[in-house]
């Protein structure tokens, strides 16, 4: 008997699709997930395994869940909670430690003036690389919690990061379209004035040709001219959401 979890089944659906361009239902991919688990558990090499995959009981609602969990199931995404010092430049330093790895998710809301708690997803090649990344962050002084196997974090907490922040004075909230490629976030940070504090950041990679990002920045009234210049030179499509009623109701 081989037991597999939901993430492993989602990863198996993706595996079969990439090989055959056929989309299995979860029950149909169960045998593939079990074969992968069996091969890994028994360290099999140069063996032929047969898995009976059947059924196509799939809809777009279920596919949305599958795509969300497949990367974790394949151990290609590390889900982390990282504590950063609340000071200008902290995000840039953090990203330099992430290196060339693709960030799949970044959620943050300003809480206090000492420490920032960030929920971040990072694309990795294996579970071993994920553990190595956690160790590297901790060695550089970043308190890091590995949430890759935390069901509550993956199902709920990632959608609940945020809330009201009365301490975020002079906050401007903008919605951006980032080009979906490595370095887009670093380019944004490098062009931004070092004196502006990021008070809100929400991004999730959905596999589109651009990333939809919501950013809050604390910009003093006297620096609005410089802020408008920053937006123009950045070159990313953007929309001012500071007066959006949803922002005022849930985040302001």
Quote the tokens at residue 139: 């060695």
Sequential pLDDT tens for the chain (252 residues): 999 988 899 999 999 999 999 999 999 999 999 999 999 999 999 999 999 998 778 888 788 788 878 877 778 889 999 988 877 778 888 888 898 888 888 998 887 778 888 999 998 988 899 999 999 999 988 999 999 888 788 878 887 788 888 888 899 999 999 887 777 888 888 888 777 888 999 988 766 678 889 999 999 999 999 999 999 999 899 999 999 988 988 888
CATH assignment of the domain containing 91: 3.40.1020.10
Do residues 103 and 13 both lie within one domain? no
Do residues 103 and 180 both lie within one domain? yes
How far apart are alpha carbons 123 and 104 in whole angstroms? 6
End-of-domain residue from the set 72, 101, 126: 72
Residue 1 lies in a domain: no
Q: What is the pLDDT of residue 207?
A: 67
Do residues 191 and 83 both lie within one domain? yes
Do residues 81 and 62 both lie within one domain? no
Residue 159 lies in a domain: yes
DSSP structural state of residue 126: S
Do residues 118 and 230 both lie within one domain? yes
The count of structural domains within the chain is 2
| Parent domain of 43 | 6-72
Question: How far does the chain reach from its first CA to its final CA, in angstroms?
Answer: 52
Report the phi/psi class of residue 186: left, alpha or beta, with left for phi > 0 and alpha for psi in -120 to 50.
alpha
DSSP structural state of residue 229: H
């Amino acid at each position: 008997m081989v037991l597999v979890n939901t993430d492993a089944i989602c990863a198996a659906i993706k595996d079969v699709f990439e090989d055959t361009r056929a989309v299995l239902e979860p029950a149909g991919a169960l045998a593939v997930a079990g074969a992968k688990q069996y091969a890994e558990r028994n360290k099999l090499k140069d063996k032929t395994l047969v898995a009976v995959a059947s059924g196509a009981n799939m809809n777009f609602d279920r596919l949305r869940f599958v795509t969300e969990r497949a990367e974790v199931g394949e151990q290609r995404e590390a889900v982390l909670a990282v504590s950063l010092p609340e000071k200008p430049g902290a995000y840039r330093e953090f990203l330099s430690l992430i290196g060339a790895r693709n960030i799949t998710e970044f959620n943050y809301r300003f809480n206090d003036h000492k420490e920032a708690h960030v929920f971040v997803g990072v694309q990795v090649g294996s579970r071993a690389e994920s553990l190595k990344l956690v160790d590297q962050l901790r060695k550089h002084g970043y308190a890091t919690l590995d949430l890759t196997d935390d069901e509550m974090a993956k199902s709920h907490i990632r959608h609940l990061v945020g809330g009201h922040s009365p301490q975020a004075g002079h906050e401007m909230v903008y919605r951006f379209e980032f080009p979906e490629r490595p370095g887009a976030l670093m380019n944004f940070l490098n062009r931004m004035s070092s004196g502006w504090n990021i008070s809100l950041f929400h991004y999730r990679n959905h596999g589109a040709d651009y990333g939809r990002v919501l950013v809050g920045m604390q910009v003093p009234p006297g620096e609005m001219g410089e802020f408008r210049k920053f937006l123009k030179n950045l070159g990313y499509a953007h929309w001012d959401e500071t007066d959006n009623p949803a922002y005022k109701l849930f985040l302001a």
